[in-house]
Amino acid sequence: MQNPRWKVGGRAFAQIAQYHPELTALRRDLHAHPELGFEEVYTGRRVKEALQVCGVDEIHEGIGRTGLVAVVRGRSQSSGSMVGLRADMDALPITEHNDFSWKSCKQGLMHGCGHDGHTAMLVGAARYLAETRNFDGTAVLIFQPGEEGFAGARVMMEDGLFDRFPVQSIFAMHNWPALKPGTVGINTGPMMAAADRITIEITGRGGHGAHAYQTVDVVLVAAHIITAAQSIVSRNVRPIESAVVSLCAIHAGDLGAFSVLPGSATLVGTVRTFNPVVQELVEQRLKDLCSAIALGFGATATLHYERMYPATINTESEAVFAADVAESLVGADHVVRDLEPSMGAEDFSFMLQNKPGAYLRLGQGTGASGSALHNSRYDFNDDVLPLGSALHASLIEQAMPLPAA
């Protein structure tokens, strides 16, 4: 099935396009049955069934609790090479507001980030690779749980993923509504930021709002910290670097107690950076600022700084290779080789800390929903399924080409 709005070349796409109806049906079934991280039981079962039909050589379950790994061996094994491809499977705790027939059947859960599409694309690549085996080596197809805040990539690695499947390099891709369908984006450095969680606990002395002079007002302290925190990036981080400090929630007191000043307050937020040096700087400045401001008001403030996901950094040679592979499919005009990094985060970063590799963006446009990622009206654009599968498969074929006859 050739999409009339954009063209894709290559044998892999031509063959995989024939699977388009089946891939669409699988994707929509997964969309209708979303599951959170480490709860992907139905998803894993459907993936296993599809992989069995595809004819892959091995299927390994229970890696990282609900993760699966499929192995496909090439026509030749003389190179001894092994390359990994990864797709995430989990959904989000969002109530879906779409009204199509494949909308979520679970209240409060939906595939709002396109992981249903990522999973279907890797299944499509598995089918093609198992049918053709036009490569010299072993393809390792990783279906990962718990990307959305559960660090499923790290859990799979702790469960021996790369000990059991010692790939030389690894690749992943994510749909990107900001890019047009038929377009691929990548760069040779940071693709996504490190995501850190910050919690600031403020302790003062509560009391009656009519006698504020007898209290140590934690709401006032919190307000000063919130304001001052926004100076950290502008007055400490070099302008050519990137960082974001966002305090996103505050809890203090009781809305029903309008005349009571609370004795404690909690602020919660996030820090996003690309450079570990900047990350260290922001953490230290935030710690110093909180302590000093609280001290100035007679209160105390403690910063709890949790480093959740590291920055997603592509290795240069693998990123250039992946861009070249994409170009062989969609042409140079449809590959963005200097894509602007996102301040969002991605746990594929843990894999890239361990193995050379690259993370790509697959353009899908906003589609019929007109919505971006993590939106209650988002839906994956099924038109790009064959291209995503072909890109996965082509990474394998071109990374491990068959010996010349």
Q: Return the CATH number of 11-192+311-399, one of 3.30.565.10, 1.20.120.1760, 3.40.630.10, 3.30.70.360.
A: 3.40.630.10
Domain 11-192+311-399 and domain 194-309 have a common topology:
no
pLDDT at 143: 99
The mean pLDDT value for 90-111 works out to 97
Q: Any idea which architecture 194-309 has in CATH? A: 2-Layer Sandwich (3.30)
pLDDT tens for 14-28 read: 999 999 999 999 999
The mean pLDDT value for 234-253 works out to 97
Please give the Cα distance from 84 to 356 (Å, whole number): 10
Which residue positions form the known binding site?
Answer: 113, 115, 148, 174, 374
**Ramachandran region of residue 273, left (φ > 0), alpha (ψ -120 to 50) or beta?**
beta
Burial of 146 (C-beta count, 10 Å sphere; 0-12/13-18/19+): buried
pLDDT tens for 125-173 read: 999 999 999 999 999 999 999 999 999 999 999 999 999 999 999 999 9
Query: Taking the CA atoms of the chain, what radius of gyration do you get in angstroms?
Result: 24
pLDDT tens for 343-377 read: 999 999 999 999 999 999 999 997 656 689 999 99
What is the percent of the chain where pLDDT is above 90? Answer: 95
Please give the Cα distance from 162 to 79 (Å, whole number): 19
All residues at 6 or more sequence positions from 366 whose CB lies less than 8 Å from its CB, including other chains: 177, 372
Which residue positions form the known binding site for Mn(2+)?
Answer: 113, 115, 148, 174, 374
Full-model pTM: 0.95
> For residue 189, is pLDDT > 80?
yes
Mean of all residue pLDDT scores within the chain = 96
Q: Which residues of 186-209 are buried (b: 16+ CB within 10 A; e: fewer)?
A: bbbebbbbbbbbbebbbbbebbee
> For residue 3, is pLDDT > 70?
no
Please give the Cα distance from 239 to 146 (Å, whole number): 34
pLDDT at 369: 61
What are the sequence ranges of the domains in the chain? 11-192+311-399, 194-309
pLDDT at 8: 87
